[in-house]
Amino acid sequence: MEMLITVVVISYNSGNTIAETLHSILEQTYDKENIEVIISDDGSQDDTLLVAQEWKNQNQAFFKEIIIISHKKNKGVAANCNQGWRLASGKWIKTIAADDLLLPDCLKHNVCFVSNNPEAKIVFSDMIPFIGNIYQAPIVHDKNKILCNQQQQFNNILSECYLLAPTAFINNEVLKEVGYADESYPMIEDYPLWFKCLSNGYLLSYLEETTVLYRKGDSLSQQGTRIGNASYLESFYNFQKEKIWPKLPLSKILKKWDDYLLFKQRILWIRFFGNKVTLPYLILQKSLFLIRPYRLYSFAKKIMNK
Q: Decide if 81 contacts 170 (C-beta within 8 A).
A: no
In angstroms, the CA 252 to CA 245 distance is 9
Check if the beta carbon of residue 91 is closer than 8 Å to that of residue 102: no
* Amino acid 300: pLDDT: 67
Distance CA 63, CA 242 (A): 42
Q: What's the pTM?
A: 0.92
pLDDT in tens, 173-205: 999 999 999 999 999 999 999 999 999 999 999
Mapped onto helix, strand or coil, the DSSP state of residue 6 is strand
Q: Are strands 122-131 and 65-70 parallel, antiparallel or unpaired?
A: unpaired
> In angstroms, rounded to a whole number, what is the distance separating the alpha carbons of residues 204 and 121?
7
Q: What is the pLDDT along the chain (306 residues), one digit of tens a residue?
A: 589 999 999 999 999 999 999 999 999 999 999 999 999 999 999 999 999 999 999 999 999 999 999 999 999 999 999 999 999 999 999 999 999 999 999 999 999 999 999 999 999 999 999 998 899 999 999 999 999 999 999 999 999 999 999 999 999 999 999 999 999 999 999 999 999 999 999 999 999 999 999 998 754 434 457 888 999 999 999 999 999 999 999 888 899 999 999 999 999 999 999 999 999 999 998 888 888 888 777 766 666 666
Dihedral of the alpha carbons of 27, 67, 213, 174, in degrees to the nearest 10: -120
